[in-house]
């Protein structure tokens, strides 16, 4: 009985050694790489923010950029309630890009 259990358990061979690196490759291609690309695009966007742009913050506040303070890496956004000072990293997207129509593919 013991010999039967040992023979069943030891049948994996080289397949086990190939499976684990393959799982890490799939994890990298489908999860890690797209996240890195997203972060690069977000940093590029935050560095290219200009005065007068209508933006949305990560907390959902809509406003217009009235001043950029480079030394502090902050900006002043004018909203309906007044002017608010935000970090550049708190700006989520430009409002004109949010409402831009997406292209419809023709058949």
Please write the tens of the pLDDT for every residue from 73-93: 899 999 999 999 999 888 887
The fold of the 49-98 domain, in CATH, is SH3 type barrels. (2.30.30)
Mean pLDDT of 87-104: 70
CA distance 55 to 91: 7
Question: Where residue 2 falls among pLDDT bands split at 50, 70, 90?
Answer: low
Domain ranges of the chain: 49-98
Any residues with CB less than 8 A from the CB of 52 and at least 6 apart, and which? Answer: 64, 65, 66
Quote the mean pLDDT of the chain: 81
| Least confident among 55-59, 62-66, 67-71 | 67-71
CA distance 92 to 66: 17
Question: Where residue 72 falls among pLDDT bands split at 50, 70, 90?
Answer: confident
Whether 92 contacts 57, CB under 8 Å = yes
Question: What pLDDT is stored for residue 96 in this prediction?
Answer: 63
Question: What pLDDT is stored for residue 8 in this prediction?
Answer: 52
DSSP β-bridge partners for residue 60: none
């Amino acid at each position: 009985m013991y010999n039967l259990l040992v023979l069943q358990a030891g049948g994996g061979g080289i397949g086990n050694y190939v499976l684990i690196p393959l799982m890490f490759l799939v994890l990298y291609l489908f999860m890690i790489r797209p996240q890195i690309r997203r972060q690069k695009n977000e940093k590029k966007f935050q560095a290219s923010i200009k005065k007068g742009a209508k933006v949305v913050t990560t907390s959902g506040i809509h406003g217009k950029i009235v001043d950029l303070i480079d030394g502090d890496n902050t900006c002043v956004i004018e909203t309906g309630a007044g002017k608010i000072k935000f970090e550049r990293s708190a700006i989520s997207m430009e409002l004109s890009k949010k409402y831009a129509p997406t292209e419809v593919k023709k058949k």
